[in-house]
Structure 1
Amino acid sequence: MSASGKPPEFPTWPQFDDDERTGLIRALEQGQWWRMGGNEVNQFEQEFARYHGTEYALALTNGTHALELALQLLGVGPGTEVIVPAFTFISSSQAAQRIGAVAVPVDVDLETYCVDPAAVERAIGPKTKAIMPVHMAGHVADMDSLTKLSADSGVPLLHDAAHAHGAQWHGRRVGELGSLAAFSFQNGKLMTAGEGGALTFPDAATHEEGFLRHSCGRPPTDRGYFHQTSGSNFRMNEFSAAVLRAQLRRLDGQIELREQRAPLLSRILGEIDGVVPQGRDERCDRNPHYMMMFRIPGITEQRRNIVVDALIERGVPAFAAFRAIYRCPGFWETGGPELSVDELARRCPNTEALYTDCIWLHHRTLLGTEEQMYQIGEIVSDVLGVA
């Protein structure tokens, strides 16, 4: 609770209204509920592609499958390596590991929490087939450095843009940055249908191959079961697409409001002794703010978790930050590098700090009022004083 004694009442998530209801009825009544017979997925792909500055998008079952399919399109498989941030949700690495590749974790920048280009450069080797920057919490990674590094090394980039719907770097949206980009529509994401994902493409040929592979290798006009490539069923259904079309229409307004609230909340949190908010590179000139992230340097993981629980009890939707992927048992089941956890920890000191001392607040907090930003600051300050 705040000093007023009342917990803040933030907007709920997911948000929906008659737009979603209308879309669901429209999908229902068209009589065809899968993409090959309906029109909602096709329309959503066109709208999502246009919104992100490209002509080509493919709607998929979820964001993890989007990464997996994109990696296959880049030729990733057994005997290859993919460079991923050590500080990310584990789907970034598991998408590579599930198709037989080795995931190579590298450290992140302690200001933006995005992958450190210098660490990426050190990790590139003869088996490196892809570099996967993650646009952490909506902040675009250093694409100037990464694009040059990709061009110099010949290793393609794959954007994990699960947090970055509508983000911009130098005024360019993710679809304009010249690489494959994977998005997620999981329940907590900036636009959602409960689950879902998408890929955006820089060219028609890669999009066409992606379509084949997301539909069991089968062209849309095929009637003779001539499966032209290997693949799987990663097709999005019509109901999800109908919901996402409505979600996309309100995204700009939500981003605009979060961009107003985030600097205020960052300043308020930064004035609390011991709190360091996530920074921002001004070249990222539009941050959709999937999370409001901040650190408490020097805190132990156990105490950080106590702080998170206390914030939740007082009405602030808080979460512990992602665990270093190499500190998760699942990371080592298949496709782990020939390095020990201790060796990776020594190479990733910033990740070691973040997974221990970082907290994130749900992006719905940034859809609240200015007064609620001050309430959050009061609650965080109070909790840190007693936790």
Structure 2
Amino acid sequence: MTESIRDLAFPAWPQYDDTEREGLIRALEQGQWWRIGGNEVNLFEEEFAQYHGAPYALAVTNGTHALELALEVLGVTRGSEVIVPAFTFISSSQAAQRLGAVAVPVDVEPDSYNIDVAAAAAAITDRTSAIMPVHIAGLVADMDALAKLSADSGVPIVQDAAHAHGAQWQGKRIGELGSVAALSFQNGKLMTAGEGGAVLFPDAESYELGFLKHSCGRPKTDRKYFHRTSGSNFRLNEFSASVLRAQLKRLDGQIDTREQRWPLLAGLLAAVPGVVPQRIDERTTRNPHYMAMFRVPGLSEERRNELVDDLIARGLPAFVAFRAIYRSDGFWEHSAPAETVEQIAARCPVTEEVFRDAIWLHHRTLLGTEQQMHHIADIVAEALAALP
């Protein structure tokens, strides 16, 4: 197939239409642009909670703050430990570290790239205050095994669901899994207002504490500056909430399209020598597919980076995968574990491989046509064959 007849005009991202415009005007004309006086944030929280099957949702400034707030509500404090996957975006660890807690990286599974539950269990100490699974690329971590681990150990779960808007585990939405979940609305996410985040709470008590802490410790109806607890200003504004309400309305249709495209693309990529797509786990009964992810096992980090550059040059929106969090300088600035980089690496052999040889394609590629899935696989095969 020649390059000239390939249609690589993938849908743009973010997607928007008059629904967002109307929402922004509605927020503008209500005359109150912050959540305490307006309606958009409140309505978005109700709609988002209902969509995810959660009793409560709290909209916040961004996904990192969502994680930080969730951990604080669960009692994570200075000197405690939070178990996080070693293969994740660094916000997962930094949210704990900003609270003065020690982020403890553990290894991930080689085919799902999600947290290895056995490794998490082995890392629990009497200082462990939370376990944070990350649903990588929308594939839900093993929430059955994690729920058992939480029940047996007494350590609560905080789902980093930044990639998992609309995801379901064995028919249950992420808000129905009994644990706090944090989501992101950063520009690349599955629904976006440029920035923003949300926390799903399983009960009224945690939600009320979360509300206080996201609003400088101040109750909703306070007029006397009586701050009942410590906190910060993580409040989302009315304009962002109006955009997110519009984004939520089209999310289901986008997930439907990605669910149809990924099995096709995964099969085509699996047929390319050397390529191993992210596992399809039937227990994730709805996968929103934040990125199309695959590995090229045995590839060095340098050659993987060259491959990504070539894929981009050939028209694919490709990215290198996350670095192991302990291999970034930022991980070591606050509340770092006592181990060295190499000691952690020795505990995380799968992470050491995955961060060097994994690649992902922007999720907008999965909004393309069936024919474009064939084009993607052809380009990956050609780029691999051309790799020196």
Query: How far apart, in 2, do the equivalents of 1:199 and 1:217 lie?
Result: 17
User: What's the secondary structure of 1:294's corresponding residue?
Assistant: strand
Question: Which residue of the partner structure matches residue 116 of structure 2?
Answer: 116
1:163 CA displacement:
0.2
Query: How far apart, in 2, do the equivalents of 1:187 and 1:3 lie?
Result: 30
Partner amino acid for 1:168? Q
> CA offsets, 1:257-290, max 9 Å, x none?
0000000000000000000000022111110000
Question: Which residue of the partner structure matches residue 363 of structure 1?
Answer: 363
Contact 1:217–1:228 (CA under 8 A) maintained in structure 2: yes
Partner amino acid for 1:52? H
Contact 1:97–1:334 (CA under 8 A) maintained in structure 2: yes
Listed as ranges, the matches of 1:190-269 within 5 Å are 190-269=190-269
Listed as ranges, the matches of 1:38-49 within 5 Å are 38-49=38-49
Question: Which residue of the partner structure matches residue 183 of structure 2?
Answer: 183
> CA offsets, 1:198-225, max 9 Å, x none?
0000001110110000000001100000
Question: Which residue of the partner structure matches residue 354 of structure 1?
Answer: 354
Query: How far apart, in 2, do the equivalents of 1:333 and 1:94 lie?
Result: 10
Query: How far apart, in 2, do the equivalents of 1:54 and 1:126 lie?
Result: 30
Instruction: Flag the 1:62–1:2 CA change in 2: closer, same or farther, 3 A.
Output: farther
Partner amino acid for 1:312? I
- TM-score normalized by the length of structure 2: 0.99
1:54 CA displacement:
1.5
Query: How far apart, in 1, do the equivalents of 2:165 and 2:355 lie?
Result: 24
1:4 CA displacement:
3.9
User: What's the secondary structure of 1:133's corresponding residue?
Assistant: coil
User: What's the secondary structure of 1:265's corresponding residue?
Assistant: helix
Query: How far apart, in 2, do the equivalents of 1:61 and 1:132 lie?
Result: 20
Q: Does 1:63 align with 2:30?
A: no
Query: How far apart, in 2, do the equivalents of 1:348 and 1:55 lie?
Result: 36
Residue segments in structure 1 that go unaligned for 5+ positions in a row: none
| Identity between Structure 1 and Structure 2 (%) | 70
- TM-score normalized by the length of structure 1: 0.99
Instruction: Flag the 1:164–1:2 CA change in 2: closer, same or farther, 3 A.
Output: farther
Q: Does 1:164 align with 2:164?
A: yes
1:2 CA displacement:
5.6
Query: How far apart, in 2, do the equivalents of 1:279 and 1:385 lie?
Result: 24
Query: How far apart, in 2, do the equivalents of 1:347 and 1:310 lie?
Result: 33
User: What's the secondary structure of 2:72's corresponding residue?
Assistant: helix
Query: How far apart, in 2, do the equivalents of 1:250 and 1:27 lie?
Result: 19
Partner amino acid for 1:188? G
Query: How far apart, in 1, do the equivalents of 2:197 and 2:132 lie?
Result: 17
1:47 CA displacement:
0.1
User: What's the secondary structure of 1:224's corresponding residue?
Assistant: coil
Size of the aligned set, in residue pairs, is 387
Contact 1:2–1:376 (CA under 8 A) maintained in structure 2: no
Residue segments in structure 2 that go unaligned for 5+ positions in a row: none
Query: How far apart, in 2, do the equivalents of 1:280 and 1:133 lie?
Result: 18
Query: How far apart, in 2, do the equivalents of 1:335 and 1:270 lie?
Result: 41
Contact 1:2–1:8 (CA under 8 A) maintained in structure 2: no
User: What's the secondary structure of 2:181's corresponding residue?
Assistant: strand
User: What's the secondary structure of 2:199's corresponding residue?
Assistant: strand
Listed as ranges, the matches of 1:1-387 within 5 Å are 3-6=3-6, 8-387=8-387
Contact 1:2–1:378 (CA under 8 A) maintained in structure 2: no
User: What's the secondary structure of 1:181's corresponding residue?
Assistant: strand
Partner amino acid for 1:276? V
Contact 1:3–1:378 (CA under 8 A) maintained in structure 2: no
1:6 CA displacement:
4.2
1:334 CA displacement:
1.1
Query: How far apart, in 2, do the equivalents of 1:336 and 1:360 lie?
Result: 29
Any runs of at least 4 consecutive aligned residues in structure 1 with deviations exceeding 3 A, and if so which? 1-7
Provide the alpha-carbon RMSD of the alignment.
Answer: 0.9
